[in-house]
Amino acid sequence: MDAEEVEEIPSICDLCFWRCGIIVKVRKGEIIRVEGHPNHPRSRGRLCARGNAGRHMVDNPDRLKVPLLRVGERGEGKWKRISWPEALDLWARKTQETIDKYGPGSIGLFSHGLSSRFMNAFMLHLGNPNRTSPSFGQCRGPRDVGFQLTFGDGPGSPERHDMARSKMIVLIGCHIGENVQTGQVAEFADAIDHGARIVVVDPRMSVAASKADQWLQIRPGTDTALLLAWIHVLLAEDLYDRAYVERHAMGLEQLRRAVASYTPDWAAQVTQLPRDRIVAEARQMARHRPAVLIHCGRFSAWYGNDTQRSRAMAILVALLGAWGRPGGYFLRSKIELGSRACPPAHGPMDRSVATGRHAFTQFGVAGQELVEASIGPQARIKQWILYADNLVQSHPDFQSTREALRSVDFVTMVDIWPTEGALWADLILPEASYLERHGDIYAVKDHPRPFVALRQPAIAPRYQAKEPYWIVQQLAHRLGHTDCFTRPDVTGYLQDRLAPLGLSYEQLARTGIHQLAEQQAFLPAAGAYKFKTPSGKIELHSSTMAANGYPAIPAFEPVEQAPIGWYRLVSGRSPYHSAARTQNIERLMSQAPTNTLWLNDQVATAKGLASGDSVFVQNQDGCREGPVSILSTPAIRTDVVYLVHGYGSRSFAMRRAYRKGVSDTALCSRFKADTPTGGTGIRVNFVQLVTSEGKEIAGISQRCHQERAAIPWAEGCIPKAGESGAEDLPAYQKEECDDFLEMDLDDSC
């Protein structure tokens, strides 16, 4: 390689939220390599598998290339090419019609990622609050809210974990390693190397669990019980950080009373973990505090009781004195940027959709509320914008999604991939990939030395793909909103954003990253500190929760347990994939071409199954996925099966991903909403293993025996009547729901 010909453009990755710094090497207009940016404070030149393969987003033969207009039925996936002016005119006309007739609140925006900020800003400017993103409702919403209620601030993104200094790390359902964020993995590996104590709570032995000092193979859905018991022990044995709590927290006495009944003996029953282990780990935490990282996880929409679980975690963090202390969480820094692309709305917000069911949901309305409000002739939402959000794979209850997609008047999709959503869209607009576009300034306040980073195009957009700023600007200006996106070019806008930092666009474009002076990462050693809670203190007892009708201190709510012969479906990540966004990249698929169904080996044996055998998986609503290969292993509980998320695309236009592996989302036909946030708890779906005809693979029905063998400390296999989990097999609807399959009407592509 002739080094002189190669241009190196600094930018930031877009394969996950960590947004590592990258150096894009370009030769003769071709991206030849994406490498880590050595100066990026959170990645230090490292990249994960996905980031390394990023250039195949650009050269992917299946990406959206030109604006398309639907010509067939919705869902059929038949389009014709149209020009950008035609597409934008049509979009503007439809939008104007909808607004004129039904008001700005009749547009639903489903969006994801940095590039969708322009569209979100424009919707707000229109006075339309009806927008949602999976990163809240299907991911970190309950977690953020739980921490916010407690500390007045969320844990940040990337999270403000001071893992490098942690002496003990507790992962609850978080599988670092399979879930790869470079800096986090680096600090986790350092922690292992330095001998930090690592405890992993997970019904499945993850890679992280296999490296842990303790793997607590918890009964699914009982994490809050474990957390409450740990709180109980810390208080009962007087092991908590008394000085810290006295100085910074309020509500200790209420907490003490509330957790009095959550004894380790009780928790042992509920969680099926050994009592002594529960107590021992609480004491370990006390020994290592405050340098104990109770990792807040990220995907937190599990069981519908998730904000309370998050609150319990936050309270545990507070009792250990780990918030704003080395080895725990550091504090948020500040960055002042210039104004956004759109001024605020001229009129009031059109809040006619929010049901008020979820007090703390992200923009006042949860994703499922938007979906519900889109169904039927009286629907409030008439038009959808899918902005880089593949709703079909990201949102559970696809039946409702599909119904809504059929019901709304007009669906516009802006994306780089022809996802399932594309098959249903009326208008498809090709966005430039992350290596061909600018994003809004990425300002990282969740770092002791905050920094700004720039996503900038390494090459001009291929085909007819366009920059997100331009796309939204064109729509806004066509609708007469010329006070938005006033800068003709995105670089001018970015310049405005950077101005308060005394930084020019050109300067940032050269370096990619600009780090600001170090700010206060930890709580002051003495004196008061005002938290952004109503009381100005850490709220062990949350008056905000109480005011909204929720328990002020988390209480354990039992969740439905898997009936005999049924298995709880849990899902996780492959390090080669970012949810459902990377399965069309051959480089990555060649390493992780499909997913397998983890099944406890004793259950498998009882059913006459072995690793590699093919089965179908059918959920309580009769939704069936398969065939999928079994991984028979002792590394998972007998009442749980596990799938990696993101596989099983139903979009035939994504030829490498189409029908590769099975979709866990297709098996999540129901969810339990986390009431405070509206987060869609999806771990409430149970599956059976069936044959291709749908006949149950029952095997020897000795589940009691199996469970006893697998979990030697379990007191009794089937809980006594009245306890959670004693229900008989629920009367599930048995209606066939192959609706998900209906989405591919044409395999011919």
Partner 1 sequence: MPHYSMIIDMNRCVGCGACVIACQEEWDLPIGAARCWVVPMKPEASSLALSYTHYVGQCNHCQQATCLDACPTAASYRDEQGRIRVEPQLCIGCGYCVDACPYGARMVRADQGTVVKCDFCAPRVDIGLVPACVQTCPAGARIFGDLDDGESPVSRYRLDHSCQRHETPAVSIKPQVFYVGRQPIIDRIFSENPPNPKKTGPPIQGVLLEKLLRPGFFVLLGVTALGQGMDFFWQRTKGRAASAAKKDEKPASDPMLRRRAMSAVCLHWFNALVWILASLSGFGLLRSSRYRVMPEFFHDALPAVFGSRAALLQFHIALGLCWLFALLLYGAWDPKRHLLTFLRELSLRAHDIDWLRARVRGIFVDSEQDLPPQGKYNAGQKLFGIVVTGGSLLIMASGLIMFLLPGSGVLLRWSIPVHFLAASLIFVALGVHVYMTLLVRSERPALWSMVHGRIPESYAREHNRLWWVKIGDKRMVDK
Give 590 or 614: the residue with its C-beta nearer to partner 1: 590
CA dist., res. 71 & res. 84, Å (int): 17
Q: Identify which range of 40-48, 83-91, 239-247, 350-358 contacts partner 1 by CB under 8 A.
A: 40-48
* Smallest separation, CB 636 to partner 1 (Å): 8
Pick the binder of partner 1 from 563, 575, 661, 725 (CB under 8 A): 575
CA angle 445, 448, 450 (to 5 degrees): 40
Give 447 or 624: the residue with its C-beta nearer to partner 1: 447
Pick the binder of partner 1 from 211, 256, 351, 445 (CB under 8 A): 211
* Smallest separation, CB 53 to partner 1 (Å): 5
Pick the binder of partner 1 from 5, 6, 7, 32 (CB under 8 A): 32
Give 33 or 445: the residue with its C-beta nearer to partner 1: 33
State the number of CA atoms in the 13 A half-sphere of 22 facing the CB.
30
Pick the binder of partner 1 from 48, 282, 429, 644 (CB under 8 A): 48
Count, residues near partner 1 per rule CB under 8 A: 51
Of the candidates 439, 434, 433, the one whose C-alpha atom is nearest the C-alpha of residue 465 is 433
| Interaction residues for partner 1, span 504-523 (CB under 8 A) | none
Question: Tokens 């844990």 identify what position?
Answer: 155
**H/E segment holding residue 187:** helix 182-194
| Helix-helix angle 306-319:141-151, to 10 degrees | 40
As given in the structure block, the two tokens for residue 118 are: 């322009």
Note whether 529 and 523 are within 8 A (CB): yes
Interaction between residue 33 and partner 1 (CB under 8 A): yes
* Smallest separation, CB 325 to partner 1 (Å): 25
As given in the structure block, the two tokens for residue 224 are: 């809050």
Residue 430 burial by Cβ neighbours in a 10 Å radius (0-12, 13-18, 19+): buried
Give 36 or 146: the residue with its C-beta nearer to partner 1: 36
Question: Strands 427-430 and 68-70, how do they pair?
Answer: antiparallel
Give 16 or 119: the residue with its C-beta nearer to partner 1: 16
Strand partners for 674: 679
Note whether 67 and 87 are within 8 A (CB): yes
Interaction between residue 49 and partner 1 (CB under 8 A): yes
Pick the binder of partner 1 from 76, 489, 586, 739 (CB under 8 A): 586
Taking residues 633 to 662 in sequence order and writing x for each that binds partner 1 by CB under 8 A, - otherwise, the string is: xxx---------------------------
As given in the structure block, the two tokens for residue 145 are: 């809210």
Of the candidates 679, 659, 683, the one whose C-alpha atom is nearest the C-alpha of residue 670 is 683
**Long-range pairs for 373-376: beta carbons < 8 A, 24 or more residues apart:** 373/108, 373/130, 374/108, 374/404, 374/407, 374/408, 375/400, 375/403, 375/404, 375/407, 376/407
Note whether 177 and 208 are within 8 A (CB): yes
CA dist., res. 434 & res. 440, Å (int): 12
Q: Identify which range of 141-149, 183-191, 495-503, 643-651 contacts partner 1 by CB under 8 A.
A: 183-191
| Interaction residues for partner 1, span 186-205 (CB under 8 A) | 186, 188-190, 192-193, 205
* Smallest separation, CB 181 to partner 1 (Å): 8
CA angle 391, 644, 746 (to 5 degrees): 50
Pick the binder of partner 1 from 164, 207, 704, 717 (CB under 8 A): 207
> In Å, how far from its chain's centre is CA 324?
24
Neighbouring residues of 326: CB distance < 8 A, sequence distance ≥ 6: 162, 165, 290, 291, 522
* Smallest separation, CB 509 to partner 1 (Å): 24
Interaction between residue 591 and partner 1 (CB under 8 A): yes
Give 211 or 462: the residue with its C-beta nearer to partner 1: 211
Note whether 324 and 522 are within 8 A (CB): yes
The 427-430 sheet, strands edge to edge: 79-81, 68-70, 427-430, 410-415, 383-387, 107-111, 131-132
Taking residues 213 to 252 in sequence order and writing x for each that binds partner 1 by CB under 8 A, - otherwise, the string is: --x-------------------------------------
* Smallest separation, CB 641 to partner 1 (Å): 14
CA dist., res. 365 & res. 99, Å (int): 19
Q: Identify which range of 286-294, 373-381, 552-560, 587-595 contacts partner 1 by CB under 8 A.
A: 587-595
CA dist., res. 126 & res. 176, Å (int): 40
| Interaction residues for partner 1, span 56-85 (CB under 8 A) | none
Of the candidates 202, 176, 267, the one whose C-alpha atom is nearest the C-alpha of residue 683 is 202
Give 26 or 391: the residue with its C-beta nearer to partner 1: 26
Pick the binder of partner 1 from 169, 225, 391, 631 (CB under 8 A): 631
* Smallest separation, CB 46 to partner 1 (Å): 5
* Smallest separation, CB 55 to partner 1 (Å): 7
Q: Identify which range of 31-39, 136-144, 400-408, 491-499 contacts partner 1 by CB under 8 A.
A: 31-39
The residues binding partner 1 (CB under 8 A) are 32-36, 45-53, 55, 176-178, 180-183, 185-186, 188-190, 192-193, 205-211, 215, 575-576, 586-588, 590-592, 598, 611, 631, 633-635
